[in-house]
Amino acid sequence: MTRRSGLRSENFCCRWESTHAALHQRGNCCTPIFQTAPGCLILDVRMPGTSGLDLQQHLAVNGNVRPIIFLTGHGDIAMSVQAIKAGAIDFLTKPVRDQTLLDAVAAAIEKDISQRNAAQLVKQHVDRYAKLTPREREVLREVVKGRLNKQIAFELGISEITVKLHRGNVTKKMQATTVGQLIRIWELLPVKMREERSP
């Protein structure tokens, strides 16, 4: 069905351990298409070794956020609620219409594209932030708090002219043109990065 619809599918082994290992390998090195192409996982609740719900949780804990659709003949309301709360796109019970499954796959791929774009944007900001000097990071931290140059100068024990120089460097390196843009960029940075203090 997926091939008839122009979608590329990849099947994994039936055992949970094998599936997880394959996902880990393919997602990291073996098949570049799995790593770079938008897609989703279609899981069953019942899998040899453990459940699809356990695999969903395991993947999430290990940072694999690829969207998941459950397709099963053994589901109930409690399972569907658990799957959806854990981030599944849909929980479909067999028999299911081809178009219903294709619609779920389309929604999952859209979500994956959106997540990938957001992750790429964050990576760009993180890479730019890494190029800031410790002093520029301090100035940025004060700018996003809404502080004026003279307030930043007093807080950091430097001259107002020096603050202006650092602020200009920050704006250029972070590729922002307004304070509003700097604030939005700052809010997209990982929390750990925002909370770090200069030595």
106 and 141 in a common domain: no
Length of the chain as a residue count: 199
Does residue 113 sit in the same domain as residue 135?
no
Residue 6 inside a domain? The answer is no
Please tell me whether residues 48 and 84 are part of one structural domain: yes
Domain annotation covers residue 102: yes
The per-residue pLDDT for range 115-151, each reduced to its tens digit, is 999 999 999 999 999 999 999 999 999 999 999 999 9
String of b and e for 108-136 (b: at least 16 CB within 10 Å)? bbebbeeeeeeeeeeeebeebbeebeebb
Measured CA to CA, the distance from residue 65 to residue 67 in angstroms comes to 6
* Domain total of the chain: 2
- DSSP strands (E only) in the chain: 41-43, 46-47, 50-51, 68-72, 90-93
**Domain C-terminal end among 117, 147, 163:** 117
Q: Minimal CA–CA distance to 101: which of 112, 93, 56?
A: 93
Are residues 95 and 184 located together in one domain of the fold? no
Residue 178 shares a structural domain with residue 106: no
Whether residue 136 sits in one domain with residue 94: no
Query: 125 in a domain, yes or no?
Result: no
Domain that holds residue 146: 131-195
Residues 108 and 138 in one domain: no
| 50-51/46-47 β-pairing | antiparallel
Q: Give the span between the Cα atoms of 54 and 61, in whole angstroms.
A: 11
pTM of the predicted model, to two decimals?
0.69
Least confident of 9-13, 51-55, 108-112: 9-13
Is the confidence at residue 114, as pLDDT, over 80?
yes
Spatial separation of the C-alpha atoms in residues 178 and 142, rounded to whole Å:
15
pLDDT digit string, tens, across residues 73-106: 888 899 999 999 999 999 999 999 999 999 999 9
Same domain as 158, residue 97? no
Please indicate, yes or no, if residue 8 is contained in any of the structural domains: no
In the numeric block, the tokens 């020096």 are attached to 162
